[in-house]
Structure 1
């Protein structure tokens, strides 16, 4: 019996999150996925895309500043489009959505893959994502919005010996920061599970026109600090921050961004703290 092959086009394929998704698609035995990476013309020859090509991924140049018809021609024959773009490039999905409509794409998966919080509040990235989702829904393209929660390595605390430093993916000013009292639970996931779960979700007819949370479990900061202490035998320092303190930190980063609007690391740090506020202070879990 032949195995079904599903054609998937991925925008942002060279990014870290997209890499996890691609690994999950490539590992799938049934169905099989035929993957196309959509790259800007200036990026096609970059080492990251050349490496993807060695895995059997087709690389095609797509000018998202071109006409919708030209972009649609690049999508011709694809079944599913997945977007995984940085939080400062969410608008790049809009021409892709319009082109996907022209190309009769069967399912569009927008760039989400984060925390599922209510579409209100102070989180600028979430507000922008919701604007993109609204455009997608209005287009009448079948869609699936997939969130996964926080990656575990966003919660691993630093211990005095530095034993956990290798696994911590946070700037110094966020390390060991505990919003509120540390008791509020949130969705978390091992990032190595992201691709496997996405591969299942995008082939499940029950997830058409749905928002899906694909997390591994729910943990609080208290839980993660306790786990770290149990495994290392060391007590991590807690830097509890109140709602007011967190707002002041966000305001400080906003002020810095006014002087350096293109500083991506400042932008990500501010967005991280805004997600902290929405998840652990406002309890805005969707």
Structure 2
């Protein structure tokens, strides 16, 4: 039986890397990697070539030659958040090439379109383009990762792998949220994209549906530490989102303001609107991957937290962060009182932090 030929975009990002590993572990697929012409000599790409993955140069900022995509049955996009609109050219070429299944860059929390989350709406514009083309598709959303859902501990023993954030408690902490281990995304995708039941459907993945209260309880019970939580009310959250929108409206080119708004809208959607739930996903027409594949054994949040307590965790984006200049930002934009340490590409001192952060977003960071 011939293998399914897949072209994967964004394979060096966190989500894309998970998808690549999931497909590579399944003999059903033959995977090729699409990269920007400027990225072919990057170490991460060279490492994929050394593993035997064919690499194809694709410039999404220009009209694509459909013949580039003609050899592929399936195209999967895991590109960065600022590049969502570049998928329009990709989808148009995929339709002309006769691609049998197009998987756009979804991979976020459950949320209805139309003004709740700007990041969601940017993705929905791509979906609507797909629908207008009558391009066969599968949309996969994944809830929130385990890897960015656990709280820091007072002892600091998880600081090396904790991504960012404080121990905020939104509302009463009871809002349930779908969670997926980052490593399971690729395993789910490998099942989903060869399943005829998922063609022209939306699918959601999950291992757990946990509230903040339940996550804090897991962290405290397994660590033996008591976590001081900082309450955030609905009124505070709405005010923060409104201020973030004002900041972005004042300067739509400000990447920091855009990232801040995305962060706040995630929190408002997850913790106050309660969008990211199994019940809401089914209401919005998604298929449940756990129903489709009852034999699939995802990594639970409890098991993940046990792993990281034993020192086996990995910080998201660690390889990218370790190779860039460390800059400390006090970012009131992101969350009240939040102190964020990130690494961004070194630039001349006169360069703005916004321009540096734009490079960071358009690099291997994937959503």
TM-score higher than 0.5 = yes
CA RMSD of aligned residues (A): 1.8
- Residue number among 216, 235, 249 corresponding to 2:226 in the alignment: 235
| Post-superposition offset of 1:26 | 0.7
Partner Cα distance (1:260, 1:161) in 2: 40
SS of 1:85's equivalent in the other structure is coil
Partner Cα distance (1:202, 1:114) in 2: 17
| Post-superposition offset of 1:86 | 1.4
Gaps of 5+ in 1: none
SS of 1:163's equivalent in the other structure is coil
Partner Cα distance (2:247, 2:115) in 1: 21
Partner Cα distance (1:120, 1:91) in 2: 17
In the other structure, the counterpart of 2:152 is 158
In the other structure, the counterpart of 2:45 is 49
Partner Cα distance (2:115, 2:217) in 1: 30
- Residue number among 152, 155, 175 corresponding to 1:184 in the alignment: 175
> Does residue 64 of the first structure (1) align with residue 60 of the second (2)?
yes
SS of 2:194's equivalent in the other structure is coil
SS of 1:36's equivalent in the other structure is strand
> Does residue 222 of the first structure (1) align with residue 218 of the second (2)?
no
SS of 2:157's equivalent in the other structure is coil
Partner Cα distance (2:47, 2:259) in 1: 27
In the other structure, the counterpart of 1:249 is 240
> Does residue 175 of the first structure (1) align with residue 166 of the second (2)?
yes
| Post-superposition offset of 1:265 | 5.2
Runs of 4+ in 1 over 6 A off after TM superposition: none
| Post-superposition offset of 1:140 | 0.8
Question: Structure 2 vs 1, CA of residues 175 and 263 (structure 1 numbering), >3 Å: closer, same or farther?
Answer: farther
| Post-superposition offset of 1:252 | 4.0
Partner Cα distance (1:260, 1:139) in 2: 33
Question: Structure 2 vs 1, CA of residues 264 and 48 (structure 1 numbering), >3 Å: closer, same or farther?
Answer: farther
Q: How many residue pairs are counted as aligned between the two chains?
A: 277
SS of 1:66's equivalent in the other structure is coil
SS of 1:236's equivalent in the other structure is coil
Q: Over residues 56-102 of structure 1, what are the superposed CA-to-partner deviations in whole Å (9 max), with x where a residue is unaligned?
A: 1111111223334x2x1211210000011111110010000000001
How do 1:104-143 and structure 2 match up within 5 A?
104-143=98-137
Q: Are the equivalent residues in 2 in contact too, given 1:121–1:278 (CA < 8 A)?
A: no
In the other structure, the counterpart of 1:37 is 33
- Residue number among 89, 95, 109 corresponding to 1:95 in the alignment: 89
| Post-superposition offset of 1:259 | 7.1
Provide the TM-score with structure 2 as the length reference. Answer: 0.71
Q: Over residues 132-182 of structure 1, what are the superposed CA-to-partner deviations in whole Å (9 max), with x where a residue is unaligned?
A: 111111211110000111001222111211122233222xxx321222211
Provide the TM-score with structure 1 as the length reference. Answer: 0.91
Question: Structure 2 vs 1, CA of residues 80 and 114 (structure 1 numbering), >3 Å: closer, same or farther?
Answer: same
> Does residue 144 of the first structure (1) align with residue 142 of the second (2)?
no
